[in-house]
Structure formats: C-alpha cells, structure tokens
A and B are shown apart, each in its own frame.
Chain A
Amino acid sequence: MIRLQNIEKVYRTDTVETLAINGISLDIAKGEFLSIMGPSGCGKSTLLNIMGLLDEPSKGSIKIADQDITRFSDQQLAKFRNQKLGFIFQSYHLINDLQVLDNVELPLLYRAGSAKERRELATEALAKVGLSNRIKHFPTQLSGGQRQRVAIARAIVGRPQIILADEPTGNLDSAMGNEIMDILINLNKNDGTTIVMVTHDENMAHKTHRLVRLFDGSQVQ
C-alpha cells in the first residue's frame, strides 16, 4: 500500500542542517496496522508527514496505492490527500469556530457532493465514534477524548484507504487512550483501512500488527 525507498529528509536552517530521516525504506501492506516508536526528535512525525504527502523527502521515492506521487502537482497532491488519506493529530487540530458536525464535514468540502450527502456522511462517521449526541457542540465544549474522536470521525468521513495517526492517544489518559485505540482497531478490522500510527506507548504499539522503531532518523527494528 505504501512503499518508501531510501527516504532522506534534511531540514536546513540558517545555522544548522538536521538529518531528520536517514535512508528509511518501508513497505506497508494493504490492511496492515503499523506502529512507529522511538525517542523524541528521532523523526517519527517527519516520516509520517512524508507518507501523508504533507512534506517532501529530500531524497528517495514514495509509492502510495500503486501511484508514484513524486511528480505530482500541488493540485494532484491535494486531491490525493483528500481521497486516499485520513489524518489524526496529537493536538486534534479541530477548528474551534465550527461545530463538531462542520468540523467532520471539512474533508468533504474539497470534493464534489451535495450538502445533504456531506451531512449524512458526517453524521454516520460521528455515530461510528459514538458522538451522535454532540454534533452541535463546539470543540471547546468537549473533553480531550471527545475531541480526538471528532478528529477520528473527520479522518474517516471521506472513507480513505489509509489513516495516518501521529500520537493519537498522547494527550489522553489510558482509559480514553484505550477507547481511541479500540476505534482504530475496529476500523482496521472491519473496513480494512491501512493504519500507520506513531506512539510513545508500548501497550498501544503491541496491539498493532507490526512495530517499527526509529532512532536518530534510522530504522532500528
């Protein structure tokens, strides 16, 4: 599903050059649930952003869903992200000025479809994460776990083949974290969604199919 070959990522600032990713090759199968672990600053988010086409690698090639996206234009990348990928972030990244339902509809705004369809899909996605009774709330009126569930609903509303989650349980207590984890596991099992998850939590990582450890930009396991 995702094939990374010899990915390198160098961040250059005025004074220093940081080698965030140093020659990583990774093959992720369709329907796989993969977790990535490693100490802070080892390049986990960077790697995930590269898989999510939010960032370009300095070197190496990426193939996602059998498409070589190396030569994609800004427009093609945007469309690809919109249709094939779903993102979940550690800090949720909800728009506080929009109600839960409108936040979940967000990815659908960037593709064709009627307002009614959007409403239906978003309501359905919220039902899946057990938030049907909060659709008119604003994000600031929700708990952290609820917010993360909204973010998951937003990630799945467009029925992506791949979900990329960057520490989705990082800000939550273990009970909430387990709840989120269960939702992801169900998505992977029932819908066959490929999931790549960055985590600091060994317990969470062990619930997934495969664990990849990074250290200083390189894969160590």
Chain B
Amino acid sequence: MFKHLFKLIWNKRKQNFLFLSEILVSFMVIFAVFSLLVFYYLNYIKPNGIEYEKVWSIQYSNPLKTSNVDSLETFYENVRRTIKALPQVQELSFSVSNYPYSNSHSTTGFTYKGKELSPIDNYMIEDDYHKVLGMRLLSGRWFNKEDKIGKKRNVVINSTLKQAMFGDAEAVGAVVGADNEKETWKVIGVVADVKASGDFLPAGKGFYKRLDSGAFGWIGTILIKVSPDADAAFESRLHKLLARTIQNSNLEIQHLEDMRDSTNEDTIIPMIICITVAGFLIINVALGLFGVLWYNISQRRGEIGLRRALGATGSSVSFQLVSESLMLATLSIIVGSFFALQFPLLNVFNVPTAVYIIALLLSIAFIYLLVIFCSLYPGKQAAAIHPAIALHEE
C-alpha cells in the first residue's frame, strides 16, 4: 500500500506542487522560530551567575581636573569610605561601565594556541566585585590585595572561556595570551558564567582584570550591594550624600533588578512579535492545507467511490488520505531539512549545533501534527462518501 500511495503522489507531483511548497515554506519558518526559541530557552535554563537583587549601580562623571594618580586615589578612597560607612551598604566595588545588564560591552579577542577566541568580554573590576554580585568561584581564587603589589598580570576567567581554552583540563596556573604578542596573563581563578545580556542570551566568554588605581579617572561606575531594608528614602539620602561627596558630577542610581527586566524585554518583545507573525502564518497555512485537501477530496470522489467498490473500507479510505498528506509532508521535510542542516554545518550564526537539532526535531513533529490535524477531518469526510453516488456522478 505504501508503494502504491507513493506512486500515486509521485505521478501527481505537479498537482501536489502547491501543497509541497506550502509545507516547505512553513517548515522553514517554523524551523527559524523554533531555533530562536530553543536558543533562548537553553540559555534561559542556565543560572544567571549573579544575585542581582538589591544591587545598585551608581554612575558618576569624574569631576576632578587632575590626572595625578595619588590625588585621584585619595579622592575616590574617601568616596568609598563614605558610602561603605552607611549601614545599609554591605559590599562595594568600582567597575567599568560594562557590568551585567548595563547593555554596554567592552570586548577583546585573541588567538590562543590556534583557537580563535574573539569576542571576549573584557571586565575591569575590584577585589570585592564578586561579593557585590554574588558570583560563584569555581576554582582558584579571586583577586586580593597581593595582586596590587608589583606588576603582576593576573586574570580570572569565566567558565565559557575556560572551556574554550582548556576544555576539561585545569586552567588555574596557566599563562595565557595572544599567540602573536608578548603580553600574557596568569589565570588565578575560574568563575561561573554571568548572563550579562539578560536571561535569554548566552554569557559569552569573560576575562576579568583587576583595576589599577590609575583607572579611577575614567571608570565611572560604583556597584553596591544594599541590605533588604534599603528603601526609596534611603536611596534619596544616598543620592544627596553622593552629591555632596562627588560635587559637580552627573549622578544616577539604578537597580540591577530593573535593568535586568529591561534587558530581558529587549529580547522578549521581538520574540513575541516573531511568534505572533509566525502564528498567523501557520494559521494561514493550516487553512490553506485544509482547503487543498478538501478540494482534493471533492476532485477525487470518483476514485474514492471506486476504491470503496473494490473493497476499501471507510476507514482505509481516510487512512489513505491522511497517509498521502503525511508522505507529501515527508517529501517537503526532507528538502527542508537539507536546507536547515546547512545552518549548523556552515555555522552561520555561531549558535550551538544542539539548538538546530532540537529545533529541527520540533519542526518535524510540528509539521506532522499540523498535517494530521488538517487532514483528519477531510479524511473523515472522504470515508463518508457513498460509493454508489460517487460512481454515479461521473
């Protein structure tokens, strides 16, 4: 029976062309949407890597005219002491502006032992940065006072970068740097990934370097962890205190929790638009398929009546029609999968292969369900065709 049906749809390939291309197009659209969703989902289920609740960022502009390192250091040490003296402030760290959810990036990249590693997010932080953000150290140690002495070039890397460079081997103690340059760093610790661009996007590779005091002139961000009782009243007191301490500066306090929400929205809103558009398309395709199948059956009443006369039961007629649709869908899926597989093979978007494979399987299942859904009712109608009447008509 399978071979028989295959011959039938093969000989009718011209008439079936519309059906085939309709399924092919929807398959590709579904595949694209599923790839995106699977990509977001696989990122979403990974931990954030930080505790963003009650973390505030203070943005300031440096009001000092001097570029003298000592006077800058003295000034900002005073700022640090003043803020830390507040009982609500539990932890504090200066940082460059590319802290999590800031939407700001500073990237570097290099080739290490022949492996291209760019882009790498380049974070410049202080010894207490990980405490403010509740980052998890996986091995080695975080920066401490000792790293200040001399010109030690130590670095903490995140788990993604560690995997890319070392795989499962030990990273702590290794000396890393670009193949073609003399500049090298010694890895002292590995931290868990931080999804700095929101819950739905990957953490990327992270390279954490210790700020030196000369940087105070330009960094512009202070991150603080405040206690649960730090409220709006406290925030306005803090703002006034800051205004007095860093005079003539543009000051802004933001909550990482809010920044995370707005970063996530940047992903979610286009995603919803995408799903809605695809949804409408699928509804259209479903109606189209339904129409094509319905029309098909009205065109084939004679054939159906004949099959009934020759010994087909009602259910074998509807089984035949559903099978034909599924076989046609299979042809489209084979062609579609060929195109879909080019994405992982050519690594078009630098997305893990697993994303495409899962999306492909989901798309295949979706198309089959769609086709079954659209052909069940026409198939049932076909089963109800009265053989005598159908044969009489022609």
Contact = CB atoms under 8 A, between A and B. Distances in A.
B198 to A, nearest CB: 54
A98 B8 contact: yes
A78 B313 contact: yes
Interface of B: 1, 3-4, 7-8, 11-12, 302-303, 305-314, 316, 386-388, 391-392, 394
Interface in A30-86: 45, 49, 52, 54-55, 74-75, 78-79, 81-83
A5 interface: no
A111 B311 CA distance: 8
A78 B387 CA distance: 11
Contact of A82 (B3, B7, B305, B311): B311
Contacts of A115: 3
A99 B4 CA distance: 11
B311 to A, nearest CB: 2
Contacts of A102: 4, 7
Interface in A95-131: 95, 97-99, 102, 105-107, 109-111, 115
Interface residues of A, number: 30
Contacts of B306: 93, 95, 106
A83 B310 CA distance: 9
Contacts of A98: 7-8, 11
Interface of A: 45, 49, 52, 54-55, 74-75, 78-79, 81-83, 87, 89, 91, 93, 95, 97-99, 102, 105-107, 109-111, 115, 138, 154
A138 B388 CA distance: 25
A110 B388 contact: no
A93 B8 contact: no
A110 B314 contact: no
Given A54-B309, A55-B388, 20 more contacts: A54-B308, A54-B388, A75-B313, A78-B308, A78-B313, A79-B311, A83-B311, A87-B310, A93-B302, A93-B391, A98-B7, A99-B7, A106-B306, A107-B310, A109-B4, A110-B311, A110-B312, A110-B316, A111-B311, A138-B11
A98 B6 CA distance: 11
B273 to A, nearest CB: 43
Contacts of A83: 311
A96 to B, nearest CB: 9
A81 B12 contact: no
B321 to A, nearest CB: 14
A199 to B, nearest CB: 18
Contacts of A75: 313
A137 B308 CA distance: 24
Nearest to A82: B311
A55 B385 CA distance: 12
Nearest to B4: A109
